[in-house]
Structures are given as C-alpha cells and as structure tokens.
Amino acid sequence: MRALMLDFQPQRRSGPLGWSLLGAGLVLTLACVLVQQHVSEQSAQQQGHLQTTQRVLTGDTGTGTKVTLSPAETREQAQNLAEMRKVSQQLRRPWERLFAMLEAMPRDDIALLTLTPDARKGQVRISAEARDLEAMLAFHQRLEASDELSDVSLLSHEIVANVPEHPVQFNLSATWEIGDANP
C-alpha cells in the first residue's frame, strides 16, 4: 500500500502558461486603452473640422459678426438657391405614376413622340401621332379621365397628307396633379 499524502495548505504553482496569459491580457488591455485614446483624439479633431466648416458655410466667424457678402455674391447665391429649389421641386414630382399611367394606356392607334414635363408649372406637354382623328380624341378622353392628369387640352393637330394612311400628329397640354406627393 502506498503512503497517503495529505497537504492541507498546498503551495500555489504558477506555470509559464499562467504568466504568459497574464502578460497577454495586460498587453491587450494597454493596446485597447491606446486605441481608444487615438479614436477619441480623431473624433475631437473631426468635430473641430465640422464646426469650422459649419461656421464657414453659415458665414459665422466665431466673433459674433457675420461676413457680409457683396451685392454680386448675394445675387449669385440667390440664383444658386433658386436653381436648387427648381431641381428639388422637379425631383419631388411623382414621375413613376405618370410614366406608369402612360405605359398602361392602350396604344394600338397612338404613338407617343415626346413627353415634356414642366414640374415648376405642374404641366406636361405630350406630342403624339394617331392613326386617325377618332383615335386622337379617344386618347384625349383617356388622359382626361386619368387620376394623374387634368385639364387636358389639344394645342394643335395636323393630318399628314404625304403618308398614305394620313395619320394625325398632335400636341396636348395637361395639368400634372401632385396628389399625395410632398409639396
């Protein structure tokens, strides 16, 4: 029988694996702290650039006085603002619904030639060619009955005499309804 060793106060043994894990943990913690400081510095620097850029854009010099623009610069700024509003208004129009409505209409006797929208006035001009006058009038009535267009009016029409079928080329103008689109 072997002798039984009872050790009521074992000595702690620290092996190389334990010390290496402790060292790796300390290095990792130090690296995280350094990265966090670097990110904080970058964030503060970017925030400063953002505030400087905002002051430049708003004309604020930081001293409480605003930079005054010359009359030519004021006119140019007003023209740029008007152009941006015009483009914004055109982009807010319900283009998809207008195109979907025109594509869904039966066009056996009609060929669309041009579509000229004027988003600022809320109007659209349609140039088309019809097989005959009846087809032109039926197309006009379908446009008038649509939800997207109203006040459809015939601007001009011409019977093409030098083509054997004698088609009718015509121009329509209509008010382009916004409906539920953002104003």
Distance CA(79)–CA(94), nearest Å, equals 26
Give me the pLDDT at residue 180, please: 47
118-169 tens-digit pLDDT: 877 888 999 999 999 999 999 999 999 888 888 999 999 998 888 888 899 9
pLDDT band at 183 (very low <50, low <70, confident <90, very high): very low
Find out whether 104 and 143 touch, Cβ atoms under 8 Å: no
73-96 tens-digit pLDDT: 888 888 988 888 877 776 676 778
CATH code of the domain made up of 94-176: 3.30.1360.100
Q: How far is CA 144 from CA 27, 153, 161, 175, in A?
A: 76, 9, 28, 10
Find out whether 154 and 118 touch, Cβ atoms under 8 Å: no
The whole-chain average pLDDT of the chain stands at 84
Q: Which residues contact 127 (CB under 8 A, 6 or more apart)?
A: 112, 113, 114, 115, 116, 169, 170, 171, 172
Biggest CA–CA distance in the chain, Å, is 126
Give me the pLDDT at residue 140, please: 92
Distance CA(125)–CA(154), nearest Å, equals 10
Residue 181 has pLDDT above 50, yes or no: no
Q: What's the mean pLDDT in 40-68?
A: 80
Rounded to 5 degrees, φ, ψ at 24 are: -65, -40
Return the structure tokens found at 90: 């055109």
Q: Which residues contact 133 (CB under 8 A, 6 or more apart)?
A: 157, 159, 168
Least reliable range by pLDDT among 10-19, 56-65, 158-167, 174-183 = 174-183
Q: Is the pTM of this model over 0.75?
A: no
Alpha helices in the chain (DSSP H): 16-58, 71-91, 95-104, 133-145
35 or 160: which leads in pLDDT: 35
Give me the pLDDT at residue 66, please: 56
DSSP state letter for 137: H
Give the angle 82-83-86 at the CA atoms, nearest 5°.
90
pLDDT band at 11 (very low <50, low <70, confident <90, very high): confident
147 or 30: which leads in pLDDT: 30
